[in-house]
Chains A and B, each alone.
Chain A
């Protein structure tokens, strides 16, 4: 993470300098969204599935303590060691402690947004532990020394030329080679060597089942399984909201997850871990890190239903045109923007404003989180608590003055239309944020009110 964090709007401005690139990024993600649509429409029960998923998660939120205790007990009976971390620092210390105990200084890791949230790689690296991300997209961004820009598609912001150059430098592929097949093969060889030589593997958790003490990890590449089944010690890290009551509920969630994420009916691998294999140690780290606070925020607790499919990002007009890194948070996009303020209101006050409130995110969410309503509600909270940026505050105050005085409103509308017609340069310039990347519209000749007043007399 860089030291100086740019606000979303400023970072987006940088992102938008290269128009063909932004268009490509936009279209690529929209294509993923369309695959989701096609896939979801194959199931006549899609809406009922979403309703069921949301309902199960609602039950989870209201029984979290019991479900976690049951999960812990079952997992222990299965021979799995369970750890609890109140925050990111404690999580990182637990992982470091386990590695130190086994005198391990190299580890493979499959995708875990939680460890991104905790900045675990950075911490372990400072403590002499080398962590290799094994998901191809994550390995790519790791070699570039940057965080993932999308929770499901970590390198979606990169063109194959960027990756070709990167692999040429780090993996010795041919200069100028950009064929995805060739580049993926190079990564396969490079990472196979890591899988075969690392004694510890860390994975995320997609779902943890209270009834059985087992957990499910979904991948397309097979990297979680390659790591976990070869390592002496498997550490699985989960935010506590990953819990679901029963194994049969996996039927609901696995049917929704991949269809919402990429349009696949299921990921290639849905691995169910219950007991360590003979001679192996298995650990689960259950992490709070602000989740219990979010649970107490009535308006925002539904964000904890999230199953991290990324559908809200793929559909979001702002995400598609500003890129994941503009959100300066482990989870970007609409869902990231309602999770981040809970972690740090000051640092993330800009994110709930990175939305048009169009509601598309809520429409595609497989667990029916009211994402756009929460974005709107966070704005109220942030303004009340004094976290709204000065420029926005001045604008909003001016706006409320105008809107509160009908005569002044009419006069300023007329003035605005006249100015736009007579002196277009007054608005078509760099000082007007609405002029960026777009032309101002033709001003209408009269307002609706003027038109109405005139026509009613006839």
Chain B
């Protein structure tokens, strides 16, 4: 018998009596203002939230914040003149020199400040991790209260996707928080109005 079959056989023999799934597995969060909560939670994880009224203002802000940085990459067509680094590479290792990536993402979660990004929005999965600094752009109205709401919205995860909450961090040396472990050293979230 293969290991697969012997493991399954042993499970069948040893598993407990049939139990049903619990009736309630989702809960509603009652925030006074979803965007305020999102902003508050991101403030706790060193992430700035900037509201921009249109793509023009986004380009302006991008220039203001990162204009002097070399190796600027983006997935947003309206920022193509701002960028000086093409994401049109075949090998993701070539992204190792990206300093700032401004990336379109899908939605944010107020209770923890996480933003969902996936294959649908990225030419390379490694981009939000390998870039030294990261900024997401999400529609201002694309915020949900909590993770239960997030999975209602997230019907399918496609090939790969990730909730990212703030810059990468570690506290492995005597519990001292250090921002910038392996992934991005800083994070900004642009909330884009209208459309």
B interface footprint on A45-79 (CB within 8 Å = 1, 0 otherwise):
10011011001101101111100110000000010
- Give Cα distance in the complex from A292 to B1, angstroms: 16
Closest to A267 in B: B165
- A387 CB, nearest partner CB in chain B, Å: 22
Provide the residues of chain A in CB contact with B18, threshold 8 Å.
62-63
Contact between A274 and B157, CB atoms less than 8 A apart: yes
Contact between B14 and A293, CB atoms less than 8 A apart: yes
- Give Cα distance in the complex from A298 to B2, angstroms: 26
- Give Cα distance in the complex from A138 to B45, angstroms: 23
Which residues 70-110 of A have a CB within 8 angstroms of B? 78, 84-86, 90
Q: Identify which of A189-197, A321-329, A341-349, A395-403 touches chain B.
A: A189-197
- Give Cα distance in the complex from A38 to B150, angstroms: 24
Contact between A68 and B157, CB atoms less than 8 A apart: no
| B8, B92, B146 pick with most chain A CB within 10 angstroms | B8
Q: Does A356 contact B (CB under 8 A)?
A: no
Q: Does B170 contact A (CB under 8 A)?
A: yes
- Give Cα distance in the complex from A270 to B2, angstroms: 33
- Give Cα distance in the complex from A221 to B164, angstroms: 11
Closest to B156 in A: A212
Provide the residues of chain B in CB contact with A56, threshold 8 Å.
21-22, 25
Provide the residues of chain B in CB contact with A248, threshold 8 Å.
25-26, 148, 151-152
State the majority secondary structure of interface residues on A. helix
B interface footprint on A248-287 (CB within 8 Å = 1, 0 otherwise):
1111101100000010111111111111110000000010
Provide the residues of chain B in CB contact with A28, threshold 8 Å.
174-175
Q: Identify which of A117-125, A155-163, A377-385 touches chain B.
A: A155-163
- Give Cα distance in the complex from A28 to B174, angstroms: 8
Q: Does A240 contact B (CB under 8 A)?
A: yes
Contact between B147 and A254, CB atoms less than 8 A apart: yes
Q: Does B65 contact A (CB under 8 A)?
A: no
Partner of B8, one of A69, A273, A275: A69
- Give Cα distance in the complex from A65 to B39, angstroms: 43
Provide the residues of chain A in CB contact with B173, threshold 8 Å.
136, 140, 155, 160, 163, 180, 183-184
Contact between A274 and B159, CB atoms less than 8 A apart: yes
Partner of A195, one of B11, B15, B147, B182: B182
Which residues 154-192 of B have a CB within 8 angstroms of A? 154, 156-176, 178, 180-184
Contact between B125 and A221, CB atoms less than 8 A apart: no
- Give Cα distance in the complex from A223 to B169, angstroms: 10
A interface footprint on B123-158 (CB within 8 Å = 1, 0 otherwise):
011100110000000000000001110111010111
Q: Does A185 contact B (CB under 8 A)?
A: yes
Q: Does A26 contact B (CB under 8 A)?
A: no
- B117 CB, nearest partner CB in chain A, Å: 10
Which residues 1-16 of B have a CB within 8 angstroms of A? 2-4, 6-8, 10-16
Q: Identify which of B50-58, B73-81, B108-116 touches chain A.
A: B108-116
Q: Does B89 contact A (CB under 8 A)?
A: no
Provide the residues of chain B in CB contact with A271, threshold 8 Å.
160-162
- Give Cα distance in the complex from A136 to B109, angstroms: 28
Contact between B20 and A214, CB atoms less than 8 A apart: no
Contact between B27 and A229, CB atoms less than 8 A apart: no
**B contact residues, range:** 35 or more
Contact between B8 and A65, CB atoms less than 8 A apart: yes
Closest to B166 in A: A268
With A58-B19, A221-B170 already in contact, the answer to whether A188 and B182 are too (CB < 8 A) is yes
Closest to A294 in B: B14
- B46 CB, nearest partner CB in chain A, Å: 11
Provide the residues of chain A in CB contact with B27, threshold 8 Å.
45, 48-49
Contact between A270 and B162, CB atoms less than 8 A apart: yes
Partner of A61, one of B16, B129, B148: B16
- Could you name 27 residue pairs across A and B whose Cβ atoms are closer than 8 Å? A51-B22, A56-B25, A85-B3, A136-B181, A160-B176, A180-B178, A188-B182, A191-B182, A195-B182, A220-B181, A221-B170, A222-B182, A223-B181, A225-B126, A226-B182, A229-B124, A248-B148, A249-B25, A251-B25, A265-B111, A265-B112, A265-B165, A268-B183, A269-B165, A274-B160, A275-B159, A286-B7
Interfacial residues, chain B to chain A (CB-CB below 8 A): 2-4, 6-8, 10-22, 24-27, 41, 45, 92-93, 96, 109, 111-114, 118-119, 124-126, 129-130, 146-148, 150-152, 154, 156-176, 178, 180-184
Extra inter-chain contacts (16) besides given A62-B19, A192-B182, CB under 8 Å: A55-B22, A90-B3, A134-B182, A160-B173, A195-B182, A220-B181, A222-B181, A222-B184, A249-B25, A251-B146, A265-B112, A265-B165, A275-B158, A276-B159, A292-B14, A293-B14
Interfacial residues, chain A to chain B (CB-CB below 8 A): 28, 31-32, 45, 48-49, 51-52, 55-56, 58-59, 61-65, 68-69, 78, 84-86, 90, 134-137, 140, 153-156, 158-160, 163, 180-181, 183-185, 188, 191-192, 195-196, 212, 214, 220-223, 225-226, 229-230, 240, 245, 247-252, 254-255, 262, 264-277, 286, 288, 292-293, 295-296, 298, 301
